[in-house]
Structure 1
Amino acid sequence: MEKIYRPQEVADQLKIKKATVYELIKRGELKSSKVGKQIRISQEQLDEYLTRTSPAGQDSGLTAALPPVMDIPRFHADQASRQVDYLLHSNGLIISSQESRVVELLRSLLTRRVNSLPLLHSYMNDYNSLYSLYYGKTHMALTCLCYQQFEERISQISHFLPGTEAAVIHICTLKTGFYVQKGNPKKIKNVTDLCRPDIVFLNREKGNGLRMSLDRLLAEKKTDSPFNPDFRDESLSHMSSANAVASGLCDISMGDLSHLTAYPQLDFIPFNDASMDLVIVKSSLEEPAFSAILETINSREFKDSLLHFNGYETMHTGDILFTTP
């Protein structure tokens, strides 16, 4: 009889956390079956995952050196519009975002509300999330964009949604910055140090809110050594950024402060505050399912749960501003 595993048993075999196993299942990278309400993974399903993520099937370079669990599929703009077409035939609301923890929190609290619909998560970076919302491929985009002035995020979002009036519902503000080794042995002080020849910098992927903000800032800086953003290796999540620095695969990468709690061997250099916002086409706010989402975001339980993440602030959670067409 074929061996059947519990998620914890798979986590023990792969030397990863059980939560990571659930994340792999959610992203469709690790197939599983349900027995009643319990998740089970067969030996065949586990072998298939291990075969696909074996070193022989990976590209060379820095990204390939990261553990397979850290690799999240890349999206290109044309792929993003097709990525979620199959979800549109499902009975649920599609939310596109690179942030999975807040989506999971929102999803769990929504199940308690009468008028709610299932929340289907399509993992995309900020650019592709807004791109897909603009083309009607998703119902909501959860974005995280850096700003100098708080209102600046509205103009950034409007830029991606020309001719569309959208509601921008504030979720939280958070601290973003650079992960470096404990004690900052390379003495990195500011973004111009990223141009130093002795610094190995792992950038975020194109379309990520941090990457877009950094690209704009570097374009404004005058440096003796030009910074070339078009290199092969890119990080696809906060966790993979922190993991790469902690593993010594690079000197510095970018992410948000909350992920630092899992890496005591790292220090953090602040970059900019960022605003996490839920973007919805304004006309959709009249639908009962979206009313349930607004009620959930404004609930005390949702706001208190956000505060468990280090550096998250909820002073303006639930505030709504509108983009201009």
Structure 2
Amino acid sequence: MTNQMSYTTEEIAALLKVSKLTVYDLIKKGDLPSYRVGKQMRVDDADLEAYKNKTKSGIAAVQEDPSAYMESKTIVITGQDISLDILTKHIEKNTKNIRPLRSYVGSLDSLISMYKGDSDIVSTHLLDGDSGEYNLPYIRKLLTGFHYVVVNLVIRSAGLFVPKGNPKQIYTWRDLKREGITIVNREKGSGARVLLDEQLRLQGMDTRLLKGYDCERSNHIAVAGMVALGEADVGVGIEKAANIVSGVEFIPMIQERYDLVMIKSPQNMEWIAQVMNILKSEAFLHELTSVQGYDLSLTGTIMYES
């Protein structure tokens, strides 16, 4: 190799046998000097060799504090609830080698991304209408062949958003099929969409007869907002969103379990233990307590372990 050579981030990741995210993290922290050629980041061979030599010289220090030189682990946390943002903040603050990234997708898509290896901590609130059980029937089907742990994050109230005063007198799932009722829906794969579809199935209601069924919004606040603006008579969501959006009342229908799923592979066990400690920590629970609408009686409790 010569000092005139340079490498792309992909080439460095292959040479060091680390992920591209780790390379970007080294560049961001200044450990690996880089420069840009067009849209591409490049690192000179001399700087790469200097970094490798510096790392080698730190072997003795590793024996004193192994975590100081341990490769940073990036974990992807999926879901849309604010409790996940709080968890992410506590992971960043209380761990040395975990780098959490947030992905804002629905429950079913989160489990599919975990199956594909694209997510590390997924949140889910999926109701199985036949058993009345949350999450586990879906997790067992989608994560066949995996070893995993399911931990409760919060319990929260889910139900119907209606305009102030509830002018259409909507109180039950069967009320949705009355003539003149327009709904606003969540996107396919979201927990709220599964809740609605399961209730409609149990009531024997044809979704094709529901006005607005194909009108989808990507989060609870957007659904509540459409109801508040008079663009829909009813939508499905969580109580917290109704407390945020003015002009909306909340009709509670069910207490849903909002759980986390983590894959128990050998390389994951160390950070899973750290996350479990955070879930049970006084600081984390205290911050969750400040958010209205959460039941924390099961927070940090293992609901299932395979």
Per the TM superposition, whether the score is higher than 0.5 is yes
Note if 1:142 corresponds to 2:123: yes
Residue 102 of structure 1 and its aligned partner are, at CA, apart by: 1.8
Whichever residue aligns with residue 220 of structure 1, its letter is L
Residue 126 of structure 1 and its aligned partner are, at CA, apart by: 0.7
Runs of 4+ with deviation above 6 angstroms: 147-150
Whichever residue aligns with residue 136 of structure 1, its letter is G
175-184 or 103-112: bigger deviation: 103-112
152-161 or 250-259: bigger deviation: 152-161
Note if 1:257 corresponds to 2:239: yes
Contact map agreement 2:156 2:257 (CA 8 A) in 1? yes
Q: Supply the distance in 2 between the matched residues of 1:284 and 1:141 (Cα, whole angstroms).
A: 18
Contact map agreement 2:76 2:101 (CA 8 A) in 1? yes
Residue 228 of structure 1 and its aligned partner are, at CA, apart by: 4.8
Structure 2: gaps (5+ residues): 1-71
CA offsets 1:34-82 (integer angstroms, 9 cap, x no match): xxxxxxxxxxxxxxxxxxxxxxxxxxxxxxxxxxxxxxxxxxxxxxxxx
Residue 150 of structure 1 and its aligned partner are, at CA, apart by: 8.0
Contact map agreement 1:158 1:323 (CA 8 A) in 2? no
Q: Supply the distance in 1 between the matched residues of 2:287 and 2:134 (Cα, whole angstroms).
A: 26
The number of residue pairs the alignment matches comes to 234
Q: Compared with structure 1, are the counterparts of its residues 230 and 284 closer, same or farther at alpha carbon in structure 2 (3 Å cutoff)?
A: farther
223-232 or 307-316: bigger deviation: 223-232
Contact map agreement 1:172 1:313 (CA 8 A) in 2? yes
Q: Supply the distance in 2 between the matched residues of 1:289 and 1:181 (Cα, whole angstroms).
A: 44
Residue 220 of structure 1 and its aligned partner are, at CA, apart by: 2.0
Residue 143 of structure 1 and its aligned partner are, at CA, apart by: 1.6
CA offsets 1:88-121 (integer angstroms, 9 cap, x no match): xx9511112132x222211211223244411111
Q: Compared with structure 1, are the counterparts of its residues 185 and 173 closer, same or farther at alpha carbon in structure 2 (3 Å cutoff)?
A: same
299-308 or 127-136: bigger deviation: 299-308
Q: Supply the distance in 2 between the matched residues of 1:207 and 1:151 (Cα, whole angstroms).
A: 17
Contact map agreement 1:155 1:323 (CA 8 A) in 2? no
2:26 corresponds to: none
Q: Compared with structure 1, are the counterparts of its residues 131 and 230 closer, same or farther at alpha carbon in structure 2 (3 Å cutoff)?
A: farther
Matches within 5 A, 1:1-325: 92-99=74-81, 101-146=82-127, 152-222=134-204, 227-228=209-210, 231-283=213-265, 287-322=269-304, 324=306
Whichever residue aligns with residue 150 of structure 2, its letter is V
Residue 225 of structure 1 and its aligned partner are, at CA, apart by: 9.3
Q: Secondary structure at the match of 1:118?
A: strand
Q: Secondary structure at the match of 1:174?
A: strand
Q: Compared with structure 1, are the counterparts of its residues 303 and 285 closer, same or farther at alpha carbon in structure 2 (3 Å cutoff)?
A: farther
Q: Compared with structure 1, are the counterparts of its residues 229 and 92 closer, same or farther at alpha carbon in structure 2 (3 Å cutoff)?
A: farther
Residue 198 of structure 1 and its aligned partner are, at CA, apart by: 0.4
Whichever residue aligns with residue 319 of structure 1, its letter is T
2:49 corresponds to: none
Normalised TM-score (structure 1)? 0.66
Q: Supply the distance in 2 between the matched residues of 1:119 and 1:224 (Cα, whole angstroms).
A: 42
2:60 corresponds to: none
Identity of aligned residues (%): 28
Residue 166 of structure 1 and its aligned partner are, at CA, apart by: 1.4
Q: Supply the distance in 1 between the matched residues of 2:294 and 2:128 (Cα, whole angstroms).
A: 15
Q: Secondary structure at the match of 1:111?
A: helix
Normalised TM-score (structure 2)? 0.69
241-250 or 276-285: bigger deviation: 276-285
Contact map agreement 1:166 1:282 (CA 8 A) in 2? yes
Q: Supply the distance in 1 between the matched residues of 2:235 and 2:273 (Cα, whole angstroms).
A: 38
Structure 1: gaps (5+ residues): 1-89
Whichever residue aligns with residue 153 of structure 1, its letter is N
Q: Supply the distance in 2 between the matched residues of 1:164 and 1:142 (Cα, whole angstroms).
A: 17
Give the alignment's Cα RMSD to 1 decimal. 2.5
Q: Secondary structure at the match of 1:92?
A: strand
2:59 corresponds to: none
Q: Supply the distance in 2 between the matched residues of 1:285 and 1:317 (Cα, whole angstroms).
A: 25
Q: Secondary structure at the match of 2:295?
A: coil
